[in-house]
Structures are given as structure tokens and as C-alpha cells.
Amino acid sequence: MIKRFFTIILMVFFASLFFPLVGLISDRDSVSSLAKDYLVQGRDDFGAANIVTAVVVSYRGLDTLGEVTVLFAAAAGISLVFKGLRNEGKDKKYRVNPPSEILRTGARVLLPLIFIFGVYIFINGHLTPGGGFQGGVVIASGILLAFFAGNIKELNHGFVTFIESAAGFSYVAVGLLGIWLAGGFLDPRFLPMGEFGSLFSAGAIPVIYSLIGLKVGSEMSGIIDAIRSY
């Protein structure tokens, strides 16, 4: 009870820290000057219709690279966590009920759609909402479905690892290409800008997003596999 009481007091304190501070701010009338620069130049710099994508992939490309790394590290970590468990000899197999008819049939219909949707999302990231992460996660969800529906029994580790490694390495390589062929690290402008608003535009942004998509997809699949195979 006393613990509750202190917790409440703490909460009150926190609320009194947070709310007065945010209460000082009301709706903004315009974006910040930096954002203004992005909005004005974004199209000319990278030819991306989706300014958020331009920010994510190019202006703040290093963040995104880091983000991929975080995911990568988490995937590696999770697989280590569960590997440790397997090593401890707790590998009693749970009996898995066979997938139902609906699941199997549904999966057969849905899987291609899901994969295509995923790929679409990351390829079109520079034009519409979406991008590599979203696409990758959609693909991973397809993999999950495939597991449930029994379409895949075991993930081909070599293949997944290959995709993961290759995509990641290519991402870094593209970044380095930016140094040598264009202005700086992760500069997508070493590829032609193309026509604004079309699929093959915005330099290497679609390439990067595709690589991210592949990488995220394979990483997420890896996580799913790590948890599943426990």
C-alpha cells in the first residue's frame, strides 16, 4: 500500500514536470527552418516525392543505417538468447497442431500477395508512404504466415544469412559509393535522378530502400525463426 502511495506521488511529480512544459507550446504555424530547407530543396536535391523518405534515407541516412544495425544487433542477440536455451538441453519438442485447412488455403492465396505487397512498399518508398522497413516487416509477416501454414518447415539459414549479409554489406557499399562517386557517404546521387515521381527516380534511394527492405525482411524472419525453433 505504501509502495502504491509513493508510486502515485512519483507519478504526480512526473505529470507536473511534463505537462507544464508541453503546455507552453501550442500549435505551430510553420515548420522549422531546417524542415523548410528540406521541403524546398528536397525535391531538387534528391528528386524524391516523399520528403520523409528523403530525410530518412539521405539527409539522415546515417540514422537509418544505425536503425538497420539496431535491428540487426537485436536479431543477433535474440538468436543468441534462444541458442543458449537450446544449448541448455531444453529442446523438448512441443507438439504442433497441424495447420487448419483455412489457414493453408488462405496462405496459398495470400502469400504471393503479401510478398508482392512488401516489395511494392519498399520499392515505392520514395514516392508514397512506406519504405524499406515497412516492406521488410510485411515480407517477414508473410514468412510467419508461411510457418503457420506449414509452407515452410525450416528456414534456409544459409539463404537468409546470405540475403541479410549481402543486403547489409551492399547498403554500406552503396554508402561508400556515395563518397567516391558523389558528394558524401550515403549520397544517392551517383545514380541518375530520373523523372520526378516515377519509379526509377531519386537516384539510389529506391536501391537503398530495397536493400533495407531485404535486410529487414530477412532479419525479422531470422527473429521469427529463432523464437519458433526454440
Residues 6+ apart with CB under 8 A from 39: 31, 51
The correct pick among 118, 175, 206, 213 for binding other proteins (CB under 8 A) is 175
Report the residue number, 52 or 152, with the smaller CB distance to other proteins: 52
Residues 132-151 interacting with other proteins (rule: CB under 8 A):
133
Task: Work out how close the CB of 150 gets to other proteins at its nearest, in angstroms, rounded to a whole number.
Answer: 24
Q: How far apart are CA 157 and CA 30, in angstroms?
A: 50
Report the residue number, 60 or 104, with the smaller CB distance to other proteins: 60
The distance from CA 4 to its chain's CA centroid, rounded to whole angstroms, is 39
Per CB under 8 A, does 96 bind other proteins?
no
Residues 6+ apart with CB under 8 A from 86: 229, 230
φ and ψ at 169, to 5 degrees? Answer: -65, -40
Residues 99-128 interacting with other proteins (rule: CB under 8 A):
127-128
Per CB under 8 A, does 11 bind other proteins?
yes
Per CB under 8 A, does 172 bind other proteins?
yes
- In eight-state DSSP terms, residue 56 is I
Per CB under 8 A, does 193 bind other proteins?
no
Distances (CA, A) of 7 to 12, 17, 19, 54, 127: 9, 15, 18, 43, 47
The correct pick among 31, 96, 113, 116 for binding other proteins (CB under 8 A) is 31
The correct pick among 146, 186, 202, 207 for binding other proteins (CB under 8 A) is 186
